[in-house]
Amino acid sequence: MKPSRLLVRLASGAGTNVEFSDALRLVEALGFEELRIAGSHHVFARHGIAEQLNLQDRWGQAKPYQLRQLMTSVQRYDLRVEDDSWVADAPDLAYCSAVGDTPHEAVAEVEIAIRAWLEAATSSGRAIPEPSARMARA
């Protein structure tokens, strides 16, 4: 799986059943360097980030709580993946984003994600946030 696609998946809260090899590619695409391997533990660091990151290979899968820790760093430090994918998001809808191979595909996918997000919120009785005045980023 491309790192940008995995990043969107993790940002949506889907942190289970992630192949460890995919998690490693994502961490490296985010600019982390592997410092050490001890048993099944891989320790990473990134210039400008005080925290180190530990990922453990558990039967070929990454541990979900460690992926949540990674996502905390991604959000805290506004980390980005640079590859040939395009990401579109709905900033007012928490974790609502999508990825595509072209800008058009990313926009089409985020429109589907927005509809699904709104339908899920409505059917579960959750509040739908008011649109903000933020400008869209390209």
56 inside domain: yes
Q: How many CA atoms lie within 13 A of 76 on its CB side?
A: 10
Mean pLDDT by 10 residues, the chain (138 residues): 88 88 94 94 93 94 95 88 78 83 87 92 91 66
Domain containing residue 24: 3-77
134 inside domain: no
Are 14 and 70 within one domain? yes
**Distances from the Cα of 41 to the Cα of 15, 24, 49, 57, angstroms:** 18, 12, 19, 7
**Where residue 40 sits, what CATH number does that domain have?**
3.30.920.30
105 inside domain: yes
Give me the number of domains the chain comprises: 2
128 inside domain: no
**Those residues with Cβ within 8 angstroms of residue 62's Cβ, 6 or more apart along the chain or in another chain:** 18, 19, 20, 22, 23, 55, 56
23 inside domain: yes
47 inside domain: yes
Predicted model pTM: 0.65
pLDDT of residue 33: 95
Query: Between the CA atoms of 29, 31, 36 and 42, what dihedral angle is there, to the nearest 10 degrees?
Result: -40
Are 33 and 13 within one domain? yes
104 inside domain: yes
pLDDT of residue 14: 81
pLDDT of residue 62: 96
Q: What Rg do the C-alpha atoms of the chain give, in angstroms?
A: 16
Going along the chain, which residue ranges are E strands? 33-38, 41-45, 53-58, 61-62, 86-89, 97-100
Are 48 and 67 within one domain? yes
Helix 20-29 / helix 3-11 crossing angle, nearest 10 deg: 100
